Amino acid sequence: MLSRAADEAWERGSAEVHVQVAPFAAGAAHNIRDWKLLDKYLHAIPPSDEDGNFYRAISCVSRGNWADARVFIVEARKQVNILFCLFVEI
């Protein structure tokens, strides 16, 4: 299972490994709806990462924190829009 493999890599890894594993681990935690595990990985995903903001919004929703979830959703949409515009220009 991906979540187990990600958690094992996380536990053995350095801070650099955490940054590399965090987006995959967060996705795995989301898929199994383990919100505590999701929160554990979010600390290693930079605020400028659209996936990180998407998962932060999900974490907020899981706790009923709608106001913060909205902020993260807006930020994730801005970041995706920038990426999409860059892709269209190519």
| Cβ(80)–Cβ(61) below 8 Å | no
Number of domains, the chain: 1
Query: Is residue 86 scored above 90 in pLDDT?
Result: no
Q: Give 90's DSSP letter.
A: -
Query: Is residue 5 scored above 70 in pLDDT?
Result: yes
pLDDT, tens digit, 9 for 90 and up, residues 13-58: 888 989 999 999 999 999 999 999 999 999 999 988 888 999 999 9
Give the domain CATH number at 53.
1.25.40
| Cβ(57)–Cβ(63) below 8 Å | no
| Cβ(15)–Cβ(30) below 8 Å | no
| Cβ(55)–Cβ(68) below 8 Å | no
| Cβ(2)–Cβ(29) below 8 Å | no
Residue 23: domain span: 2-89
Residue type, 2: L
Q: What pLDDT is attached to residue 90?
A: 58
Q: What pLDDT is attached to residue 89?
A: 62
